[in-house]
Amino acid sequence: MPSTHHTKVLIIGAGPAGYTAAIYAARANLQPLMVQGMQPGGQLMITTDVENYPGFADPIQGPWLMEQMQKQAEHVGTKMVFDLITDVDFSQRPFVCKGDSGDTYTADSVIIATGAQARWLGISSEEIYRGFGVSACATCDGFFFRGKEIAVIGGGNSAVEEALYLTNHASKVTVIHRRDSFRAERIMQDRLFRNPKIEVVWDSVVEEIVGEGDGSLGNPRGVTGVRVKNVKSGEERVIPVAGVFVAIGHVPATAVFQGKVETDSEGYVVTAPDSTATNVPGVFAAGDVKDKIYRQAVTAAGMGCMAALEAERWLAHHEGEPSPAGNW
């Protein structure tokens, strides 16, 4: 039977931002409730080796890191709920959120930490080698391809930025774009064309990611190339590469918040400068749901800390005040 749950701080989403917010809110004795969504842990759940999260001398597994964050949040007093928020009402306080389970969650403050997802090519071989040579984050995984030849898929700012960054590690970067010109800013294109390590393959789409190994012991899975097709001539060829970086954009998980908080043209939640506060007092946003620049686990965690501290201060400042609708 559907239930109603009330909390001082409702955290929607369970990735580095959400878990960190939960840890800080729980330690402030706010007894936060976290609605974890369909993929607790976020994008790190499909990440294998993580070498750039501070505090670990050796590589760690993304799912393990998320498991540890969840345990820490629970240990300090966060209540975890496996549900998916399908509707929100931020027009009055307490705020009201509806779950897919039928349960209702009311909260004095809300932290949105639903994250974002990389846009993928949508081919089956991409899924087979994701985490085994296929990545959507050059900053996260470029280090693993030192001295190797790799490919970047895309033609916007993200693709050009990732290609330029990857030249710090790879011996050669092949940028594959389906059109005959980039959408990226001209100054970035100029930097790319001047880089001797970068080659551009125009008017081409990736038909298949080629690899070897079945993932069994002694036969590790890995990428060996990409099969591309020229959209004008129909010619196909295989380009030998050890890694493939898909850079065709990200999609923030903000559909349920459209029209409820301010978002930009791409759907990212807009927050005040140097803050996680949205345009709705008492509602905060942290992590990739509002960040389209850095998109790192450590920056998401930092914003989760900010959101919890800001929520704590906001609650203390507004304690006892009536809501706009008179039901605080």
Residues taking part in catalysis: 137, 140-141
Q: Which two tokens stand for residue 83?
A: 């549900």
* Backbone φ, ψ for residue 134 (5° rounding): -110, 125
Nearest to 203 by CA among 171, 228, 168, 174: 228
155, 162 Cβ separation under 8 angstroms:
no
**Torsion sign over Cα 285, 255, 10, 260:** positive
Q: How far apart are CA 243 and CA 133, in angstroms?
A: 5
Burial category of 259 from C-beta neighbours within 10 Å (exposed 0-12, middle 13-18, buried 19 and up): exposed
Residue 308: count other Cβ atoms within 10 Å of its Cβ: 29
The DSSP call for residue 328 is: -
Residue in the block written with tokens 């929607």: 12
